[in-house]
């Protein structure tokens, strides 16, 4: 009997991949193997995300035109690559896909795959790495705020700035928010540019989260975070629809926190008075 193989080809930003973890892991329960298409720049993070399921393999490409007909791959090459598999394609990879309302990155892939959105919540799982625990131990008993102020893929620079910063430690995975003479500089420096799963324990135990619409938000909305002070900013995607009655998870099975949107979606720089969030 031949193996049943699924080939998952979704949007390929890291945040897109994280939002589709539930779908991929669900497919893994239905097939003997699931092949996930991903870009080279996300390879290491994707290897860690699926390292606990030997049925999930990666098909790594440099750009979508190496695989997706819509972006220039010939149909013949696509057919050869996906031969003897069942293709599950979503988002911009579809012939007429891409773009859409603010539920695009989170909810829409499950609609395209004809999957109930409860799968997003109930089948989400990522390995808990020792490196995540070790990184968190650096904080000892300090209270801290986890901040991710960088934009979604394709937009450079920060998307918001904090005003009236308190004495509480700020942890930012992309940049040190302190000058070299500040008492927190050396500690904050330890948290920069790690693999995304290394931040799980730090995110879960933070006293507050302030996140841009990025891979860090995609990850955090599916973690069992302890604080209720969870906030996000939005340029194009993410909004209350994720936690609406239609899409809400079964709270008896999974424990998640709702992230409050701090403003209406906008592309301009956002100014946040941090003291107003306490």
| Comparison of pLDDT for 24 and 235, the residue scoring more | 24
Q: Which residue has the tokens 């991710």?
A: 148
pLDDT higher than 70, residue 267: no
Structure tokens that stand for 274 in this block: 């941090």
pLDDT higher than 70, residue 210: yes
**How does residue 154 score in pLDDT terms, banded at 50, 70 and 90?**
very low
User: What average pLDDT does the chain have?
Assistant: 87
| Comparison of pLDDT for 81 and 91, the residue scoring more | 81
Q: Is the full-model pTM beyond 0.85?
A: yes
Q: Region 222-236: what's the mean pLDDT? A: 88
Predicted pLDDT of residue 150: 80
Spatial strand order in the sheet of 5-9: 56-61, 33-39, 5-9, 86-89
Predicted pLDDT of residue 238: 55
171 and 194 Cβ atoms separated by less than 8 Å: no
199 and 174 Cβ atoms separated by less than 8 Å: no
Predicted pLDDT of residue 1: 39
| Comparison of pLDDT for 85 and 236, the residue scoring more | 85
**How does residue 98 score in pLDDT terms, banded at 50, 70 and 90?**
low
């Amino acid at each position: 009997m031949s193996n049943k193989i699924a080939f998952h080809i979704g949007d390929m930003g890291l945040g897109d991949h994280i939002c589709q973890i539930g779908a991929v892991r669900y497919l893994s329960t239905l097939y003997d193997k699931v092949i996930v298409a991903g870009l080279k720049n996300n390879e290491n993070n994707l290897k860690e995300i699926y390292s606990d399921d030997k049925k999930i393999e990666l098909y790594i490409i440099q750009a979508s035109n190496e695989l997706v007909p819509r972006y220039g791959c010939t149909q013949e090459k696509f057919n050869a690559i996906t031969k003897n598999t069942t293709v599950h394609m979503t988002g911009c990879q579809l012939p007429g896909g891409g773009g859409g309302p603010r539920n695009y990155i989170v909810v829409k892939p499950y609609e395209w795959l004809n999957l109930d959105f409860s799968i997003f919540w109930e089948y989400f799982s990522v390995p808990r790495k020792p490196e995540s625990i070790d990184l968190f131990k650096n904080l000892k008993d300090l209270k801290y705020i986890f901040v991710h102020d960088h934009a979604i893929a394709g937009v450079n620079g920060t998307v918001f700035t904090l005003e009236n910063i308190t004495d509480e430690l700020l942890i930012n995975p992309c940049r040190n928010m302190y000058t070299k003479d500040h008492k927190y500089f050396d500690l904050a420096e330890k948290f920069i540019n790690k693999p995304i799963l290394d931040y799980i324990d730090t995110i879960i135990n933070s006293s507050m989260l302030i996140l841009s619409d990025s891979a860090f938000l995609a990850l955090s909305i599916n973690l069992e975070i302890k604080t209720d002070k969870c906030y996000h900013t939005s340029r194009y995607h993410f909004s209350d629809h994720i936690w609406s009655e239609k899409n809400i998870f079964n709270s008896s099975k999974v424990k998640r926190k709702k992230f409050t949107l701090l403003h209406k979606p906008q592309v301009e720089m956002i100014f946040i008075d941090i003291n107003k969030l306490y």
